[in-house]
Amino acid sequence: MTTFYILLAVAITLSCFFVLIQHPKKPLISFIFKGIASVSVILLGIYSAQFAGIIDSVTGMLFLTGLGFCILGDVALALLEFKIKNAKYNIINAGETFFFLAQLSFIVAMCFMIGGNGLAISISCLVGILFVGIIYLMQKPLKLNYAQSTASTLIYSFGLITALALSVSNMIITGFSLSSILLAVGFVFFFISDLILSSIYFKENSSRMLYYPNLATYYVAIILIASSLIFF
């Protein structure tokens, strides 16, 4: 476990460093350190899956694939800092597509974890659909404008909320095992991160300071998901 704790400390340190130094006036440096921080989390996940003996299993591979898609989403959204003309919504759509694929990988992995429990899966999907409707209807009250990213935002939101609901179901079904608790808490932080991100991307005159809690909660989320694999 010593190697796990070293990798965990490295991932936390690099993530904190990136969150603190990222700035729109130095997009290339931010881009590089974001990539380094994200790769450190992947390495943590790979070691955790290897240590737990699930790296060759369908579940383990799906979780690692999901973390890989998170990195691709990171890279895509980081391009926004370069202020590419007329590319904002194309970049957001690409990022949300990668993150949806990440959530889809996590969802399928958790379906295997709970043995394909039809009731838990159905309820989780219904919760996802319900929240998509709420998110769509709350645009005006919250002064959000998804514009050309409406479809990708709603599709991604369905994936995220379904994954969150399924992680809670998994926690209950597995008797609150440590891995299931870490997963559920991780997805809660993922949800919080994306709530903040909605204000950043889709609300006029949003504060640049919101990037700090957004990125902090995001890295907490993926570090918890990666760490949970060692306790399977």
So what's the pLDDT on residue 2?
Answer: 93
Name the pTM for this structure.
Answer: 0.95
Burial of 14-50, coded b for 16+ CB within 10 Å and e otherwise, reads bbeebbeebeeeebeebbebbeebbebbbebbbbbbb
Provide the token pair at 42: 């992947």
DSSP codes of every residue in 34-74: HHHHHHHHHHHHHHHHHHHT-TTSHHHHHHHHHHHHHHHHH
CA angle at 220 for the pair 27 and 136, rounded to the nearest 5°? 80
Closest by Cα among 184, 127, 203 to 159: 127
pLDDT by residue for the chain (232 residues), tens digit each?
899 999 999 999 999 999 998 887 788 888 899 999 999 999 999 999 999 999 999 999 999 999 999 999 998 998 988 888 888 999 999 999 999 999 999 999 999 999 889 999 999 999 999 999 999 999 888 889 999 999 999 999 999 999 999 999 999 999 999 999 999 999 999 999 999 999 999 988 778 889 999 999 999 999 999 999 999 8
The answer to whether 2 and 51 are in contact (CB under 8 A) is no
Q: Give the three-class secondary structure for 100.
A: helix
So what's the pLDDT on residue 101?
Answer: 98
So what's the pLDDT on residue 225?
Answer: 98
